[in-house]
Structure 1
């Protein structure tokens, strides 16, 4: 992969003043809006291309109270046996931030428990030695004491005073897993509000919470008051996601605060802060107005950090959204009619949008990254104004609905209020559904609101009473804030990806690469007893990719497989001819129930089976899986647990192109399939499951099913299994053996032990 987007600096000085490529206001009449808004004005702006931005001054305020020792792996599927503290993961994230910053950027680290401490004074990261020195000091941070958040914020503000906001974009980041329990008399928020009134300094404050045992209101209020974002990390998997995206936005920011004011006549004045101005991105604001005062309307855009003010020209000719929607709807119909003959998939069309395109998940080669290089802006594709407007009207309405929901008291305990909130979301979803032409942003927003895929539809789930009091309130407020600031805040929410520019995406790839390549925290894997008598313990190095979640971890469903057309399918729904995302083609799906149900052909029978839950996908303990480019047996990662399932599955693939014979699940984990002939390591190598022998036995077992692509097995007797001469590999798992045939190669005592110890799973591949 070539990355010629990096261009070496030639000593150019960063200009402070901002210039706009586009800056205008547009009147939107209710009559021509397709019923989507009242009389309004849309203010739209896009900055001119720049090669660099003002240096960043980042002040990290880190909670080191005792609760930061909590294990962030507890609720992560497939990682329950591991231990990594929240503080260790935060430290790794800050190290990523340090490594991502440029030579003119500055960082400071403050810690707080009962009091606050300047752990790292403001340091310009002029070279690798400076970065290494800062990272070594971060490693020294340990936990103790209570949670005096105000002490940390106050010290950060005092530290910021000595640094000119005219020379740096200053951002304070507050990291905590709990609410402040050592507070000033007026409380943290009111004390901060009072201090800001007399403060001539200019900075933003963003807050980040960890876990679900937190009261988020204070952190949300601080972020809103100080023009920052609120980032929610429910578990360890979201930490990398949140901070990689936060840093990518920060590095893409031209100026951190844009204020828009509309005045009509002498008395009607409305001011809103829309957040940062980013490289290569439109920023927008929608205002309801009095049509009678249209000729007396004045629009001002102010940039407090640069001291600039712009009077915005107003176009009073309203666009006709109804005409645009009708025209685009007709084009869509013609396009669909053209494509339908080439599409033999019966799935719902809406699934086309569930792509989870994760081009930003790609990591660059570490040696290709130059954090001091200039990232050039590409020419953006022309976009019709009506499409921008349609997206902004839907975004504005969505924000207004979410604001009302989060301002509702007792949403998690008052059934009447919760029902109203759910109805308001449903009504909005129905509105989106009713629009004849849906932009990609609208389709993605619908996926985020309500979708059967457990990785999506989080908005509707979050406001349910049973979830709002745990993770829902935090999620909705964070999601709302990202939409307010038109900021891509994570990898998983579809609609947020709309806000990412090419420059942002490049920074995101850089930060992602750095995060996964920095030396990971070392900690312990917890001991547990296994049926075989083995006890596992020891220090373990973490794969940091596990802490970058692009799908969310709140709900898990059946194993979902990625297809070549961008769609997904449950394993149980795969059919012969389905092409996987690696271009391998499904030849046969094998479904099996355990021997306990062998007397019945009832597929609804629940079998008891020991399986390993690896990030939401259940595997038999010895089925080879690929994680972070390493092959493992699942039981080498987590302890198997007894589960009740109807059946389990395996696949035969045709993969002449790659000869890898792998299936990839939506969580990024890959599994080997039958008859793969791969022997590059001891995990994959198998004289039966990895050769044509297994295919021959399946074909003989059910010739018609094999030919048609589906075999159902409900008769299985482990006493008839045969092993190789070393008694290590099963060599006849799927073979049909007549009742009279003896299995002299099987060691009867070993088979007996397998059955008695519930370790039948070690025979299943």
Structure 2
């Protein structure tokens, strides 16, 4: 097939916009046009038992998972080689791409001639889908009212797609389209044409024919002609244009996303967008504006504006000479802004109704769209500088669990390093202040923008802190609140983070949480989130959790220095993806449905029903709740409305509402996952209360909960429930209550921390598998960049003369490595159970577990061009410690979250790959991971059917200053075992020392 003589045209539009109907009509009535629907092709291949494509996609379809991009691209390539495609002059491709990753891969594979965007309002799409029927024989689409089947025989065999049965899921698919549309269009600048799909098929086809026949001529941008061309002018190949409905002067050349209406000029629409206005045509909320061309001359400069990540060198002279690439995530014009991101609500029962059932658990789920823009923040770090902060910062010896190791760092040193990482993660659009407290509090750095000068000044103030006297947490908190409240007004979200290692020696009457409540009541217009971080074991964790709950924040338990980094990096990522600090859900029963008389304390009764205090909303996240309801039988039998849900939140000083009425009684996996999570939260609250009182009923409540979720997990087969059950409840949570001594030492603190994380559905660390299902794409990006910042900053340790510990395990000579304090990111690559292809001496290629690989084995690899070969192993490298791996659903590859993989010539990280595929990866905790050094560089290891880099790989596209270069090989050659071909790397002796940072 030659793209030079053949047009590849993408039909892009929301579900229900009529892409398939238009494509079929064009292929039938226009000459030399072929319509390719990848969805239909995949379904046909699955019906053929001998089809290799059918066999490859069937497992994903059966599990309800998205088919991986590499398989879809192979299918597309195969379909384009079919005779009808090769003979055609125009190919209309619909159903692909659906994500930015797919669009980029497609753009590399083919030359796309133009992109046709079908405009359709959401309600029109929903109505069309509700009336849509499919002929399984011809794959033609019919509408029960507008396009009925031609014969009774055809009518009798029409079916509805399974994905069309649930209106909540339909709206979720529409939301997914809206989220990804802007970034997809940005890949094809100057090729976008708008087409109104709300007209008859004949009118649509005529418009499409005109679009296909119009030449695309690229011109340089010219100054505006002072004499505007009449709308009916046909000069320069232009067709008649619509005028902007706002100024009625300029050409309507801007498409509003997500509704897709072409109704105004770009300047007018951008003015509307900045003011928070709605689409002039359908009154839908505006996410962004994209410049398009209906046909005719296209200006190559007119395209979706998309800023590249800005690389900012950060340097702290006091820390020595170092440089770190810091990503400032900016908003692309095609991405949702915080004010226009509309959460998607859904209502579904979490159980099937039976006649004698007292009440039915109803799940209310809220999906918040992701965004490319990080929120601007004001952060005040309230730092405990009491005397105990001068004690050694210890972590468990990986070789002897009964011992703790110190590297000459005290608690305050680690806290300083963590705050320093926060400082370097912030941009010049953010502000930060510092408050130190012991028996009194003082502001050591006033709220200032985090430009380069502000960062240097903040670090100077931070470094000057020294351990002092006793602990007055409220004094520090009040000073922090005043630091943010009295500062110059700003639309930024405000956060306070309290860092303390002990118990308050002075407390206000009623406690710190009641004092915080009184403060908020006295300053009603002031909104701020308060989170607490508790270091060590001597904590009043109940008080710290109570303060966090009053402040709509989180509580983190940091038992040793090892996990400091992960807690702080996740905190900043959550802060910078915040949509709203506080949201409420109003629940109004309908048609005789009622709420039970006894409800959890989180529900507040009001005259119209219930109010649930949801807390913060974050981009790319999900929030849900379960409320029991008694619903009349006739309401269920006739699928009448039973519950109205209204979500209220404030963002950028604007109040927002989103409502939905539930009438569907189909049980969904989202509802089951919500039930599992909320049941766990409520049960853990009871467990804590009982165990605090040394009541043996506590562990029994947990055991009952686990039994309940085992049955639920077997039914739902949902990764979220599996991670919660097997990763949290049956592991560390069970250990936390296994003995009274264990509970009192650390279990009580740990349970309160993980309870709060699950309560708000936030990922707050890398250790707990059940938390890894939370967070979106932007969150993952911020965690990754924040982690690199934390590990890249040089650590300082106090002088020996300042040490107040005689711990024999302290190594005063060693230079501490930052990644020792960043759990989950200690290097390493794959689980030892992953499979590679090994070519043996007899010439046969056999599978071999990675942990069994030995020096001299010849493993299957691919080079940069994709050619398959075999390369000899020089050394197997075994990293020991604790590792949280992502298990990718489509290959079962168990890999560290940021280890580069190559897919369709692009390097991606597993954490992002899982998000792009909309799949829920499972987690695996192991005590060792493996990688190899190969004889050849610039090759990729074939492992579990995927392509992955190895140590010293040399690929610039997956560059790492240590692990991809000869530096890692130099370090390995100095280790015992190199000559024998097997090096073991212990966590207390990492490969990458401080001089290599």
- 1:570 corresponds in structure 2 to none
Query: Is 1:579–2:579 an aligned residue pair?
Result: no
Matches within 5 A, 1:576-655: 578-580=848-850
Match of 1:497 among 772, 778, 785: 772
Instruction: Return the offset for 1:579.
Output: 2.2
- Local SS of the residue matching 1:120: strand
Match of 2:762 among 481, 484, 487: 487
Instruction: Return the offset for 1:656.
Output: 5.9
- Local SS of the residue matching 2:614: strand
Query: Is 1:123–2:423 an aligned residue pair?
Result: no
Partners of 2:530 and 2:551 within 8 A in 1? yes
Instruction: Return the offset for 1:173.
Output: 0.6
Per-residue CA shift, 1:128-172, capped at 9, x if unaligned? 122122112111111101000111111112222224676110011
Query: Following the alignment from structure 2 to structure 1, what is the Cα–Cα distance between the partners of residues 853 and 582?
Result: 46
Query: Is 1:61–2:382 an aligned residue pair?
Result: yes
Instruction: Return the offset for 1:522.
Output: 2.7
- 1:28 corresponds in structure 2 to 349
Query: Following the alignment from structure 1 to structure 2, what is the Cα–Cα distance between the partners of residues 544 and 148?
Result: 30
Query: Is 1:186–2:510 an aligned residue pair?
Result: yes
- 2:609 corresponds in structure 1 to 269
- 1:448 corresponds in structure 2 to 727
Query: Following the alignment from structure 2 to structure 1, what is the Cα–Cα distance between the partners of residues 341 and 968?
Result: 59
Matches within 5 A, 1:123-272: 123-125=448-450, 127-163=451-487, 167-200=491-524, 201-264=526-589, 267=607, 269-272=609-612
* 1:541/1:551 CA distance change after superposition, 3 Å: closer
* 1:436/1:516 CA distance change after superposition, 3 Å: same
- 2:663 corresponds in structure 1 to 316
Return 234-243 or 40-49, whichever deviates more: 40-49
- 1:390 corresponds in structure 2 to 672
Matches within 5 A, 1:327-726: 386-408=668-690, 410-411=692-693, 413-414=694-695, 416-433=696-713, 435-449=714-728, 457-465=731-739, 466-523=741-798, 538-550=812-824, 562-563=831-832, 565=834, 578-580=848-850, 684=973
Query: Following the alignment from structure 2 to structure 1, what is the Cα–Cα distance between the partners of residues 732 and 817?
Result: 27
Return 31-40 or 303-312, whichever deviates more: 31-40
- Provide the aligned length of Structure 1 versus Structure 2: 532
- Local SS of the residue matching 1:129: helix
Match of 2:394 among 63, 68, 73: 73
* 1:177/1:566 CA distance change after superposition, 3 Å: farther
Return 303-312 or 150-159, whichever deviates more: 303-312
Instruction: Return the offset for 1:61.
Output: 0.7
Partners of 2:691 and 2:698 within 8 A in 1? no
- Local SS of the residue matching 1:312: strand
Query: Following the alignment from structure 2 to structure 1, what is the Cα–Cα distance between the partners of residues 342 and 429?
Result: 27
Partners of 1:14 and 1:53 within 8 A in 2? no
- 1:762 corresponds in structure 2 to none
Per-residue CA shift, 1:533-581, capped at 9, x if unaligned? xx997544211000011299xxxxxx999315289xxxxxxxx975227
Query: Following the alignment from structure 1 to structure 2, what is the Cα–Cα distance between the partners of residues 578 and 179?
Result: 54
Give the root-mean-square deviation of aligned CA atoms: 4.6
* 1:472/1:657 CA distance change after superposition, 3 Å: farther
Query: Following the alignment from structure 2 to structure 1, what is the Cα–Cα distance between the partners of residues 397 and 442?
Result: 32
- 1:89 corresponds in structure 2 to 414
Matches within 5 A, 1:32-47: 38-47=359-368
Query: Following the alignment from structure 2 to structure 1, what is the Cα–Cα distance between the partners of residues 492 and 709?
Result: 42
Instruction: Return the offset for 1:199.
Output: 2.1
Instruction: Return the offset for 1:72.
Output: 1.5
Instruction: Return the offset for 1:241.
Output: 0.8
Per-residue CA shift, 1:189-226, capped at 9, x if unaligned? 33222232222211111001001121201000011111
- 2:864 corresponds in structure 1 to none
Query: Following the alignment from structure 1 to structure 2, what is the Cα–Cα distance between the partners of residues 229 and 252?
Result: 15
Partners of 1:25 and 1:41 within 8 A in 2? no
Query: Following the alignment from structure 2 to structure 1, what is the Cα–Cα distance between the partners of residues 442 and 968?
Result: 55
Query: Following the alignment from structure 1 to structure 2, what is the Cα–Cα distance between the partners of residues 502 and 311?
Result: 23
Per-residue CA shift, 1:281-313, capped at 9, x if unaligned? 333232222324985744221214535242512
Partners of 1:116 and 1:155 within 8 A in 2? yes
Instruction: Return the offset for 1:280.
Output: 2.3
* 1:404/1:42 CA distance change after superposition, 3 Å: same
- 1:741 corresponds in structure 2 to none
Instruction: Return the offset for 1:110.
Output: 0.4
Per-residue CA shift, 1:617-660, capped at 9, x if unaligned? 9xxxxxxxxxxxxxxxxxxxxxxxxxxxxxxx9x9999666899
Return 229-238 or 489-498, whichever deviates more: 489-498
Return 144-153 or 490-499, whichever deviates more: 490-499
Instruction: Return the offset for 1:396.
Output: 1.8
Q: Could you list the runs of 5+ residues in structure 1 that have no partner in the other structure? A: 322-385, 452-456, 553-558, 568-575, 588-612, 618-648, 661-669, 671-677, 696-765
Partners of 2:824 and 2:882 within 8 A in 1? no
* 1:142/1:22 CA distance change after superposition, 3 Å: closer
Instruction: Return the offset for 1:521.
Output: 1.6
Query: Following the alignment from structure 1 to structure 2, what is the Cα–Cα distance between the partners of residues 551 and 536?
Result: 23
Partners of 1:30 and 1:38 within 8 A in 2? no
- Local SS of the residue matching 1:408: helix
- Local SS of the residue matching 2:790: helix
Query: Following the alignment from structure 2 to structure 1, what is the Cα–Cα distance between the partners of residues 357 and 721?
Result: 13
Partners of 1:584 and 1:653 within 8 A in 2? no
Instruction: Return the offset for 1:188.
Output: 2.2
Query: Following the alignment from structure 1 to structure 2, what is the Cα–Cα distance between the partners of residues 148 and 203?
Result: 21
Query: Following the alignment from structure 2 to structure 1, what is the Cα–Cα distance between the partners of residues 931 and 572?
Result: 43
- 1:280 corresponds in structure 2 to 620
- Local SS of the residue matching 1:303: strand
TM-score (ref. length: structure 2): 0.48
Query: Following the alignment from structure 2 to structure 1, what is the Cα–Cα distance between the partners of residues 510 and 417?
Result: 34
Partners of 2:381 and 2:434 within 8 A in 1? yes
Match of 1:114 among 434, 439, 445: 439
Q: Could you list the runs of 5+ residues in structure 2 that have no partner in the other structure? A: 1-100, 105-305, 311-329, 591-605, 837-845, 858-878, 884-927, 940-950, 952-966, 983-997
Instruction: Return the offset for 1:263.
Output: 3.0
* 1:691/1:71 CA distance change after superposition, 3 Å: closer
- Local SS of the residue matching 2:394: coil
Partners of 2:531 and 2:551 within 8 A in 1? yes
Query: Following the alignment from structure 1 to structure 2, what is the Cα–Cα distance between the partners of residues 539 and 14?
Result: 50
Query: Following the alignment from structure 1 to structure 2, what is the Cα–Cα distance between the partners of residues 35 and 238?
Result: 49
Query: Following the alignment from structure 1 to structure 2, what is the Cα–Cα distance between the partners of residues 495 and 682?
Result: 35
Instruction: Return the offset for 1:11.
Output: 11
Per-residue CA shift, 1:647-688, capped at 9, x if unaligned? xx9x9999666899xxxxxxxxx9xxxxxxx997698469x9
* 1:583/1:165 CA distance change after superposition, 3 Å: farther
- Local SS of the residue matching 2:850: coil
Higher RCO, Cα 8 Å, sep 6+? 1
Partners of 1:262 and 1:300 within 8 A in 2? yes
